[in-house]
Amino acid sequence: MTYVIRFSIPALRRLLLAGQVSSSELTKAYIENIRKTEPQVSAFLTVCEERALQDAEKADRRLAMLQAEGKPVPSLLGIPMAVKDNICTKGIATTCASRMLEHFTPPYDATVIQKLSQNGSPLLGKLNMDEFGIGVSTENSAFFSTKNPLDVTLVPGGSSGGSAAAVAAAQAPFALGSDTGGSIRQPAAFCGVVGINPTYGRVSRYGLAAYASSLDQIGPLTKTVAENALILEAIAGQDAKDVTTAQNKPFSYMTELDQGVKGVRIGLIAELLTGYVQESIRANVVSVGKVLEKAGAKLEFVSLPSVEDALAAYTLLSCAELASNLARFDGVRFGRRASHDTLESLYKNSRNEGLGTHVKQRILAGTMILSSDCNAYAKALSVKKAVQSDFAKLFQDYDALLCPVVPRMPFPLGTKLSEQEIYTMDLCTVPASLAGLPALSMPCAWEQGLPCGMQLIGPAFSEGLLYRIGRAFERESGLVKEDA
């Protein structure tokens, strides 16, 4: 049965509906593969085998009942998932890969978990990440580093490194990650999988541990574009528990997926094809343009002048919001409670023991940004507006934009990156984050067995179009075979 773990989600669904495999068998096959591959990959912080099998048995009973009654079967019934460990799962530890929350078990499910559980997806476990989402390699996890399944001497990217690695290693058919300034897109690029940062407001953040609330979004990671569309459809939508979620008419990405790119106008962002980005990555992204042109799209170089300012503004906004969001971890209500003799030492010791170096550094920077009289947060907000208006201008003439995901290829574990290098890793991903725009990351070329990613950015709520372009590229380039 283990061969099924490499199948696409639509193929798994066909097997389930035809009774050729049960959800219990499928879930066991993934658990078996997790056991086999975890010693090398280390993607999971928690594997909840018992819960997964219970969920799967429930899914099998439900499928039998629905089929007997001739009723429609939910899109993911019986298809298991794995979830980044900053998304709350009732009764299952949710640590944010931090000592601070090492023993925290949420009393409720995040909205995305509620939706997927109602849909019928068994929960395999919780995935490693950079502590509280801060980092680019998953080496900032307080517990252990995840390895890139394509070459275990390399990092999987971050902060959703566990999510990307789990999908790449066939430990789960899909995973959820979160993206603040690139944390879904960048690891997707490093592990050769597809990841989307949805439009801000597309997916409920209720139950997502906040890093920078004005930028955070939850999104799926999958092997292919079509699967990604399927999962986003299942988790998207307005939620009374998150007032920033947008009101939308019902939509279906799947219906427009195969409409091709004839006449679609795509702009190649010139500022992200400069010396900051490794030459081979630039060349690969430019070749994507050629492939899309062959499929009928129109390509032109365009300018997004605010790219460098965007990185600075992101740094200010994300540090400031992090400092304010993490103030709640003070040893009083939840999380680590250190030994102490005064209230002040309770705060100090709990935060000192509970938080890692990188998190502390950014909290310090954020506290300074918020308390200084230089008005840095407000200035950063005005840059955010400038980025938004740069994009809006481009979208008057173009349907979507194309650029790299990361300026460099996956690097060896343990590489000492300078602060400058760490920030520059987010260069191509933060503009869309600041503007709240959807951005799809997917592999566009392979170099000596390693993937190179490309990014498609569109106007707010244009995920359907991005998937369409991505799907056309998969087909035209031959990088993805037809559904297994």
Spatial distance between the Cα atoms of 4 and 371, rounded to a whole number of angstroms: 55
Both ends of the chain: CA-CA distance in Å? 15
Considering the complex, state which of residue 179 and residue 271 has its C-beta at the smaller distance from ligand GLN: 179
Which residue in the set 318, 325, 441, 455 belongs to the binding site for ligand GLN (CB under 6 A)? 318
- Record the tokens describing residue 339, joined without a space: 């030994």
**How many Å apart are CA 177 and CA 262, to the nearest integer?**
32
Check residue 135 for interaction with ligand GLN (CB under 6 A).
yes
| Among the residue ranges 99-107, 174-182, 270-278, 404-412, the one whose residues contact ligand GLN (CB under 6 A) | 174-182
User: Would you count residue 159 as binding ligand GLN (CB under 6 A)?
Assistant: yes
Helix axis angle for 279-294 and 463-477, nearest 10°, is 90
d(CA 175, CA 167): 7
CB of 214 to ligand GLN, least distance (A): 13
Does residue 366 interact with ligand GLN by CB under 6 A?
no
Q: Is 136 in the site for ligand GLN (CB under 6 A)?
A: yes
- What's the closest the beta carbon of residue 470 comes to ligand GLN, in angstroms? 20
CB nearer to ligand GLN: pick between 8 and 178: 178
Residue 325 sits in the site that holds ligand GLN (CB under 6 A): no
Is residue 86 involved in binding ligand GLN (CB under 6 A)? no
- Tell me if residue 159 is catalytic: yes
Does residue 179 belong to the site contacting ligand GLN (CB under 6 A)?
yes
180: contact with ligand GLN by CB under 6 A:
yes
Decide if 288 contacts 444 (C-beta within 8 A).
Answer: yes
Q: Which residue is nearest to ligand GLN (CB)?
A: 183
84 is catalytic: yes
Rank residues 74 and 133 by Cβ distance to ligand GLN and give the closer one: 133
Closer to ligand GLN by CB, 209 or 281: give it.
209
The answer to whether residue 330 forms part of the interface with ligand GLN (CB under 6 A) is no
Helix (H) or strand (E) holding 381: helix 376-397
Q: Does 211 bind ligand GLN (CB under 6 A)?
A: yes
Q: How far is CA 338 from CA 96, 99, 360, in A?
A: 18, 11, 17
**Which of 156, 181, 438, 464 touches ligand GLN (CB under 6 A)?**
181
State which residue, 24 or 140, has the beta carbon closest to ligand GLN. Answer: 140
Among the listed residues 183, 350, 424, 462, the single contact to ligand GLN using CB under 6 A: 183
* Shortest CB 190 distance to ligand GLN, Å: 12
As measured in angstroms, the least distance from the Cβ of 469 to ligand GLN is: 23
Residue 141 binding ligand GLN, by CB under 6 A: no
CB–CB of 206/110 below 8 Å?
Answer: yes
Using the contact rule CB under 6 A, the part of the chain among 6-14, 181-189, 265-273, 284-292 near ligand GLN is 181-189
Catalytic residue among 117, 159, 204, 318: 159
Segment contacting ligand GLN by CB under 6 A, of 70-78, 145-153, 173-181, 392-400: 173-181
Q: How far apart are CA 344 and CA 347, in angstroms?
A: 5
Q: Exposed, middle or buried by CB within 10 Å (0-12, 13-18, 19+), for 73? A: middle
Q: Among all chains, which residue has been given the structure tokens 């999988």?
A: 193
CB 311 within 8 Å of CB 272: no
User: Which of 28, 84, 126, 147 is the catalytic position?
Assistant: 84
Q: Which stretch, 27-35, 67-75, 176-184, 470-478, contacts ligand GLN (CB under 6 A)?
A: 176-184
Question: Is 28 a catalytic site residue?
Answer: no
Beta strands (DSSP E) in 70-186 are 81-84, 123-127, 175-179
Burial group, residue 262, by CB count within 10 angstroms (0-12, 13-18, 19+): exposed
51 SS3 class = helix
* Residue whose entry in the numeric block shows the structure tokens 């707010």: 460
Helix, strand, or coil here: 461? coil
Nearer to ligand GLN, 286 or 422 (CB): 422
Scanning 73-81, 132-140, 345-353, 391-399 for contacts with ligand GLN by CB under 6 A, the matching segment is 132-140
| Alpha-carbon gap, residue 307 to 278, rounded angstroms | 17
Cα angle at 349 between 348 and 353, to 5 degrees?
120
Instruction: Provide, rounded to whole angstroms, the least separation between the CB of residue 130 and ligand GLN.
Output: 7
H or E element, residue 446: strand 439-447
**Residue-wise over 200-237: b if at least 16 C-beta within 10 A, else e?**
bbbbbbbbbbbbbebbbbbbbbbbbbbbbbbbbbbbbb
Sequence-separated (6 or more) residues with CB below 8 Å from residue 61: none
Q: Assess whether the previous peptide bond of 159 is cis (omega < 30° from 0).
A: yes
Rounded to a whole number of angstroms, the minimum distance from the CB of residue 136 to ligand GLN is 5
Question: Element (H or E) spanning 319, and its range?
Answer: helix 307-325
Told to check if 157 binds ligand GLN by CB under 6 A, we report no
Question: Closest CB to ligand GLN among 182 and 331?
Answer: 182
Q: Which residue has the tokens 């200035």?
A: 379
Instruction: Tell me how far, at minimum, the Cβ of 139 lies from ligand GLN, in Å.
Output: 12
CB of 318 to ligand GLN, least distance (A): 5
Select the residue interacting with ligand GLN from 233, 330, 390, 426 (CB under 6 A).
426
Binding residues for ligand GLN (CB under 6 A): 133-136, 159, 179-183, 211, 318, 426
Active site amino acids: 84, 159, 183
